[in-house]
């Protein structure tokens, strides 16, 4: 690589999320649908000098820079025996962190995919997915983002034919932090009343009474603002609204472009046509 290489990496929303059982290892088995969203972080990669340097811009991130999933992805490739020289990586964070949108996982998958291309690494798509799974259960989704049904701990994927093209999506992310510990502390594993795969075949307007995010009940109790935002999305005409993952982003699906961003000026918002 003799010059800088720029790329973008998208995020995702969860369509429904059912916590079905607690596993003997302490984790939980779940069922959810991942759907890609064109809200993207930006990566600029160039040759470094003596060691990797990661420069962060945009939305702030917590934690040490050396623990960032982007650098962990580079180190993972080297641990697998691939000769990756020192890199300078400029990461502009557009996807909010701690939002249930998978931004960090997406960045990590993008690094593996991009470095495989730039350095002609002998890695198939499936091999890349296997590698990034070591960094996070949802990382493999971002190697080639397309609608997937996820089971297990969110790491067993089945492609599905779900097409939301033409729908408008509004994301609203308030300054509310929901830790993973808090999210799972309030759930009560159970088998869902409706199969997500069957619900996804129905018109979006029929999802509201069937497609459930099991995290919402307890998280909304602890953070009433999130419940208020969801209700407002429905009030503004959303055909379906929900929290993504374990929060704290709320989203609404609209048939026409929503004209209600001004109602959420205190929060991060993003509107797009899928």
Q: Which of 120, 121, 94, 88 has the alpha carbon at shortest distance from 107? A: 94
Q: Which of 26, 56, 32, 34 has the alpha carbon at shortest distance from 43? A: 56
Q: Are residues 121 and 14 in the same domain?
A: yes
Query: Is the pLDDT score of 120 beyond 70?
Result: yes
Where does a domain end: 102, 129, 159?
159
223 contacts: CB under 8 Å, gap ≥ 6: 176, 178, 247, 248
Output the domain CATH number for residue 218.
3.30.70.890
pLDDT band at 222 (very low <50, low <70, confident <90, very high): very high
Structural contact between residues 167 and 257, judged by C-beta atoms closer than 8 angstroms: no
Structural contact between residues 40 and 7, judged by C-beta atoms closer than 8 angstroms: no
Q: Are residues 186 and 253 in the same domain?
A: yes
Overall average pLDDT of the 108-128 stretch: 97
Q: Are residues 143 and 48 in the same domain?
A: yes
Q: Are residues 243 and 211 in the same domain?
A: yes
Overall average pLDDT of the 1-10 stretch: 87
How far apart, in Å, do the first and last CA atoms of the chain sit?
34
Q: Are residues 64 and 199 in the same domain?
A: no
Q: Number of structural domains, the chain?
A: 2
What is the per-residue pLDDT for 3? 79
Q: How far apart (Å, rounded) are the C-alpha atoms in residues 205 and 238?
A: 9
Output the domain CATH number for residue 149.
3.30.230.10
Residue 12 among the catalytic residues: yes
What is the per-residue pLDDT for 184? 87
Q: For the segment 13-53, what is each residue's pLDDT rounded down to a tens digit?
A: 999 999 999 999 988 999 999 999 999 999 999 999 999 99
Q: Are residues 96 and 33 in the same domain?
A: yes
167 contacts: CB under 8 Å, gap ≥ 6: 204, 239, 253, 254, 255, 273, 274
Active-site choice (12, 129, 173, 230): 12
pLDDT band at 95 (very low <50, low <70, confident <90, very high): very high
Where does a domain end: 124, 159, 194?
159
What is the per-residue pLDDT for 179? 84
Overall average pLDDT of the 198-204 stretch: 97
Active-site choice (41, 52, 107, 138): 138
Q: Are residues 155 and 172 in the same domain?
A: no
Structural contact between residues 269 and 252, judged by C-beta atoms closer than 8 angstroms: no
pLDDT band at 2 (very low <50, low <70, confident <90, very high): low
Q: Are residues 79 and 182 in the same domain?
A: no
Query: Is the pLDDT score of 223 beyond 70?
Result: yes
Q: Are residues 149 and 173 in the same domain?
A: no
Q: DSSP letter string over the chain?
A: --S-EEEEEEEEEEEEEEEEEE-TTS-EEEEEEEEEEEEEEEEEEEE-SSS-EEEEEES---S-GGGSHHHHHHHHHHHTT-----EEEEEEE-SPTTSSS-HHHHHHHHHHHHHHHHTT----HHHHHHHHTTT-TTGGGGGS---EEEETTTTEEEE-----TT-EEEEEE-S----HHHHHHT------SS-HHHHTTS-GGGSTTT--BTTHHHHHHH-HHHHHHHHHHHHTT-SEEEE-TTSS-EEEEESS----GGGGTTSEEEEEE-
What is the per-residue pLDDT for 230? 98
Q: Are residues 154 and 173 in the same domain?
A: no
Q: Are residues 21 and 154 in the same domain?
A: yes
What is the per-residue pLDDT for 105? 96
Q: Are residues 269 and 141 in the same domain?
A: no
pLDDT band at 1 (very low <50, low <70, confident <90, very high): low
155 vs 116: which has the higher pLDDT: 116
Q: Which domain does 202 fall in, by range? A: 168-273
Q: For the segment 157-185, what is each residue's pLDDT rounded down to a tens digit?
A: 999 999 999 999 999 999 998 888 888 88
Q: DSSP letter string over 80-119?
A: TT-----EEEEEEE-SPTTSSS-HHHHHHHHHHHHHHHHT
What is the per-residue pLDDT for 115? 97
Where does a domain end: 122, 139, 159?
159
Whole-number average pLDDT of the chain: 95
What is the per-residue pLDDT for 183? 85
């Amino acid at each position: 690589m003799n010059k800088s290489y720029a790329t973008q990496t998208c995020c995702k929303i969860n369509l429904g999320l059912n916590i079905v059982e607690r596993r003997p290892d302490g984790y939980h088995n779940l069922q959810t649908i991942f759907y890609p969203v064109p809200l993207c972080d930006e990566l600029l990669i160039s040759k470094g000098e003596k060691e990797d340097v990661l420069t962060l811009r945009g939305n702030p991130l917590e934690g040490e820079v050396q623990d960032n999933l982007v650098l962990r992805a580079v180190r993972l490739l080297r641990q697998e025996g691939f000769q990756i020289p020192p890199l300078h990586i400029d990461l502009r964070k557009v996807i909010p962190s701690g939002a249930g949108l998978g931004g960090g996982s997406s960045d990590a998958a993008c690094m593996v995919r991009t470095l495989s291309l730039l350095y002609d690494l002998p890695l198939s798509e499936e091999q890349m997915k296997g590698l990034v799974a070591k960094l996070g259960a949802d990382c493999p989704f971002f190697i080639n983002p397309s609608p997937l049904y996820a089971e297990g701990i969110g790491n067993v994927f089945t492609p599905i034919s779900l097409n939301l093209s033409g729908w408008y999506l509004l994301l609203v992310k308030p300054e509310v932090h929901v830790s993973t510990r808090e999210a799972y502390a309030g759930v009560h594993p159970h088998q869902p009343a409706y199969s997500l795969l069957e619900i996804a075949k129905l018109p979006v307007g029929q999802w509201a009474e069937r497609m459930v995010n099991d995290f919402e009940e307890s998280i909304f109790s602890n953070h009433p603002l999130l419940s208020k935002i969801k209700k407002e999305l429905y009030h503004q005409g959303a055909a379906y609204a929900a929290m993504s993952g374990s929060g704290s982003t709320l989203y609404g699906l609209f048939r026409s472009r929503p004209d209600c961003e001004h109602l959420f000026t205190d929060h991060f918002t993003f509107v797009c046509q899928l």
